[in-house]
Amino acid sequence: MSHKVLAFQNQKLSGKIRVPGDKSISHRAVMFGALAEGKTTITNFLVGEDCLSTIGAFQSMGVAIQREQHTVRIESAGFEGLKEPVEPINLGNSGTTARLLMGILAGLPHHYTLYGDASLSKRPMDRIADPLREMGAKIDGRNNGRLLPMSVRGGGLSPITFYPAVKSAQVKSGVLLAGLLTDGETIVVEETKTRDHTENMLKAFGADLTVEGNKVTVRGNQTLRGCEIEVPGDISSAAFFLVAAAIAPDSEITIENVGLNPTRTGIIDVLELMGVSISVKEKKNIGGEPIGDITVHSSEPKAAVIEGDIIPRIIDEIPIIALLATQAKGQTVIKDAEELRFKETDRIDSVVKTLTKLGASITPTTDGMVIEGGTSLNGGVTESFGDHRIGMMIAIASLLIDDKVELHDDECINISYPTFFEDLHKLLNEGQ
Ligand SMILES: O=C(O)C1=C[C@@H](OP(=O)(O)O)[C@@H](O)[C@H](O)C1
Ligand SMILES: C=C(OP(=O)(O)O)C(=O)O
């Protein structure tokens, strides 16, 4: 297992960068390109390990997918061209690949076996398998059909109206994709709106789909048509540097061409709520996805209570928000975020363990954490626990620490942000 010694003490960040393409949008572009008839071209694709797992899955089903750097070209005969692979499909570390793919496979008249790494094998799959079973798919797996490895025998589904018990875009998307391959209308009604990239992009591929508030209706047996998708920068990746610039001394950075879909911009709202100096310039809208630049200056953050409907809009940013809270004036409380327990690690547990080791005063709760602000952090030996977002949080924490921080198992950062350290060095060098 590789490790890094981080020694970036008290440096300032400045300059402009672009972060890599959005992970959620990159996954969906490959999946829908594979389901569509004709040619699809994806630019600014995220070459992270999770999105490569999605490409690998569809290649193993016989879809022609070629990648040159950040451009992906897909040529498909539509869903009838998706074959039954001989080998089990490896989903790696990717929850998004697992839940969305299961929805697609449930609609296809074949048999598939799916497996993932040690982390993915612990993550709950019943949340997607149960509604797909209700539609008629035959799905089984470990732990009474709840965990990977799992098998799917799809086809012959009936539509459902589904009220998800968990606030999850992956579950919503999996059911909608199964609905696309089912006669009749499939409806998903969410209690709180989650990221809506599936809805936006299915429309871009020509699907007949209606969105009324939190209710999405998709009609089955439609033909998707290949198209061109430009992937915006990933706001979840940008979040690490937005927080870094807010808490490092004398800093000002701009992240250009970031996706500003309102279902993803909770981090901007939280930074504003916590008194960080931030400005946003929207520049264009591609396929229903707004894109623009975000500028942040060094600030004196203050504590906040973060709860309720904003949680799905910041779900992947909570580790870095927790770090920000250690530097804010007052006590920050994060509630309603029990979903953090079902990510690559139990992120309540791994954030609390890691920040405690670095000297923070932070207490876990069943659905979040309570963080005392104004703490000065100390160096030490840390590990990512194989969770990319924990690894990146540690790297940003090291900017505030006088001693060295050792980060073990840093390679998992390649899951979502392979050029993270290059981009960090760019912002630090510009700051000299
Ligand atoms: O739909 C997606 O692309 C994602 C949805 C979220 O997961 P849940 O749907 O499990 O909340 C998020 O945490 C994940 O990184 C990506
Ligand atoms: C939770 C994440 O991804 P996934 O669910 O796709 O593994 C993440 O990227 O933080």
Residue 30 confidence (pLDDT): 98
Pocket of ligand 1 contains residue 169 by CB under 6 Å:
yes
Q: Closest Cα to residue 347, out of 376, 375, 386, 319?
A: 319
Instruction: Tell me the backbone φ, ψ of residue 75, rounded to 5 degrees.
Output: -130, 120
Ligand 2: centre distance to CA 414 (Å): 13
Nearest ligand to the CA of 343 is 2
The encoded tokens of residue 124 equal: 């709950």
Q: Closest Cα to residue 43, out of 4, 9, 8, 69?
A: 69
Q: Is the pLDDT of residue 199 over 80?
A: yes
| Ligand 2 atom 4 nearest Cα | 95
Q: Residue 409 and residue 177: Cα distance in Å, rounded?
A: 35
Instruction: Tell me the backbone φ, ψ of residue 350, rounded to 5 degrees.
Output: -75, -35
Q: Is the pLDDT of residue 92 over 80?
A: yes
Q: Work out which ligand 1 atom sits closest to the CA atom of 23.
A: 3
Q: Which segments of the chain belong to CATH 3.65.10.10?
A: 3-21+233-430, 23-230
Pick the CATH number of 23-230 from 3.40.630.30, 3.90.320.10, 3.30.1600.10, 3.65.10.10: 3.65.10.10
Does an H or E element contain 23, and which? helix 23-35
Name the residue type at position 97.
Answer: T
Pocket of ligand 1 contains residue 272 by CB under 6 Å:
no
pLDDT in tens, 355-400: 999 999 999 999 999 999 999 999 999 999 999 999 999 999 999 9
Q: Is the pLDDT of residue 431 over 70?
A: no
Return the CATH architecture of domain 3-21+233-430.
Answer: Alpha-beta prism (3.65)
ipTM of the complex: 0.99
Active-site residues, by number, are: 316
The encoded tokens of residue 300 equal: 């004196």
Q: Residue 253 and residue 296: Cα distance in Å, rounded?
A: 6
Bond before 149 cis per omega within 30 degrees: yes
Residue 11 confidence (pLDDT): 87
pTM of the model: 0.98
Q: Is the pLDDT of residue 432 over 70?
A: no
Q: Residue 195 and residue 265: Cα distance in Å, rounded?
A: 10
- Give strand ranges (E) for 252-396: 252-259, 278-286, 289-297, 305-306, 331-334, 362-365, 368-372, 380-383
Pocket of ligand 1 contains residue 24 by CB under 6 Å:
yes
Give the per-residue SS3 of 28-89: HHHHHHHHCEEEEEEECCCCCHHHHHHHHHHHHCCCEEEEECCEEEEEEECHHHCCCCCCCE
Q: Is the pLDDT of residue 180 over 80?
A: yes
pLDDT in tens, 2-53: 999 998 877 899 999 999 999 999 999 999 999 999 999 999 999 999 999 9
